Copies of this chain bind each other. A is one copy, B any other.
């Protein structure tokens, strides 16, 4: 029996990582240094991961890590104009339109008739809230939870607060590490929908990925079929 279905937001309901990738490419061009895109991007990723415990996730953290990487890779020679351009890219990201993936609106609307729906996302509070507001999905969603990390503990606390047992809970998302495996680990149903773009830091390590059982779909349009088959089983 399923009572609640929760969705990750970025790269599950709408495009996100693609915007980061585009900014990363422009960032590499802006620096005008003698390193390949791959080398610059690797340095940025290392800065980002090192800063997660201090800055957390989201666009503002990404901004501060870009500025830091720009200073580091240019040996302190980056110009104020380049940093200004980085800030402009960030402001554009924060006000960009929300592009829902195909099927999202109809699937959410239809599932809302039979289940309690939630969005569980991590990142920047204001930016996530603003994207959810602009997505047009709020009329169908009962709970919005913006967290700083998605762990077995954070899912357990979320479900406890609502009085839902994990066995009645489905979590749908593009990240095995954040959306699928921790939910499967506490006895819930994890549904993995890979996206064309997933941030390198969201890829699970071999060990994390090797144990739990979960479902995998190609796109969210297949979700109602999976839920019907779970009910029939």
Residues of A within 8 A of B (CB): 54-57, 60-61, 63-64, 67-68, 70-71, 74, 76-81, 83-84, 87, 90-91, 94-95, 124-127, 129, 146-148
Q: Are B71 and A60 in contact (CB under 8 A)?
A: no
Chain B residue contacts of A63, Cβ below 8 A: 60, 64
The complex is assembled from copies of this chain, and their number is 2
Chain B residue contacts of A78, Cβ below 8 A: 80
Which residue of B71, B79, B91, B124 is within 8 Å of A84 (Cβ)?
A: B71
3 nearest CB pairs, A to B? A56-B126, A60-B60, A126-B148
Residue of B nearest to A76 (CB): B80
Q: Are B80 and A74 in contact (CB under 8 A)?
A: yes
Residue of B nearest to A149 (CB): B126
Q: Are B74 and A64 in contact (CB under 8 A)?
A: no
15 example contacts (A-B, Cβ-Cβ < 8 A) are as follows A54-B95, A55-B126, A56-B124, A56-B127, A60-B60, A68-B84, A68-B87, A71-B80, A71-B84, A77-B80, A79-B80, A80-B83, A83-B83, A124-B124, A129-B148
A90 to B63, CA, bound (A): 13
Q: Are B91 and A54 in contact (CB under 8 A)?
A: yes
Give min CB distance, A143 to chain B, whole Å: 9
Q: Known contacts A64-B87, A71-B83, A87-B64: does B95 contact A56 (CB below 8 Å)?
A: no
A80 to B125, CA, bound (A): 29
Chain B residue contacts of A71, Cβ below 8 A: 80, 83-84, 87
A80 to B61, CA, bound (A): 18
A129 to B154, CA, bound (A): 13
Chain B residue contacts of A55, Cβ below 8 A: 60, 94, 126
Which residue of B64, B76, B129, B148 is within 8 Å of A81 (Cβ)?
A: B76
Output the residue of A57, A67, A91, A127 with the most chain B CB within 10 A.
Answer: A67
Q: Are B80 and A64 in contact (CB under 8 A)?
A: no
Residue of B nearest to A162 (CB): B161
A54-B91, A55-B60 known; 19 new pairs, CB 8 Å cut-off, are A55-B94, A55-B126, A57-B126, A60-B61, A60-B64, A68-B84, A71-B80, A71-B83, A71-B84, A76-B80, A76-B81, A77-B80, A78-B80, A79-B80, A124-B124, A125-B146, A125-B147, A126-B148, A129-B148
